Amino acid sequence: MIVRIQKYYERIGEVEGLCRSIIRRVEHIYYKNDSINNALEKKVSKQEDGSIVIDSSSLLHQLCSFLYKNADGVVRTRALLCHIFHHALHDRYFKVSFFFLFSNKSKIKSINYNKQKNIK
């Protein structure tokens, strides 16, 4: 369902709706193991259009890269934290440290936690 909504917003060109649908997809991908995500993406691609399936780490990177460029601050931060968690889950700690250090989000005190409830 999320993939269909994402494709709809891509077709009509609404960036705000597209960012909302992409962050939902990221939130469904980031905490799962690659093998589970790859199986799910393979099934979704067969149902949708039969396109080529890429591995979940590459997919997550593409989705988060789009959000880094087009989303507002809260969604961008959320995407970054999901991306960091996904790399940590798969023991890619060098990438985790790179993302965390060069993202300027190492100052966690600057994040407004009250806005986390309002993302929905």
pLDDT above 70 coverage of the chain, percent: 80
The whole-chain average pLDDT of the chain stands at 82
Angle, vertex CA 72, rays to CA 106 and CA 93, nearest 5: 35
The pTM of this model reads 0.77
Is the predicted pLDDT of residue 70 greater than 80, yes or no? yes
Confidence of residue 120 (pLDDT cuts 50, 70, 90): very low
Task: Give 3-24 pLDDT, tens digit per residue.
Answer: 888 889 989 989 999 999 999 9
74, 54, 72: which is closest to 62 by C-alpha?
A: 54
Positions of E strands within 1-120: none
pLDDT classification of 114: cutoffs 50, 70, 90: low
The pLDDT of 98-119, averaged and rounded, is: 60
In tens, the pLDDT along 87-108 reads 999 888 888 888 877 776 555 5
How far apart CA 34 and CA 56 sit, in angstroms, is: 6
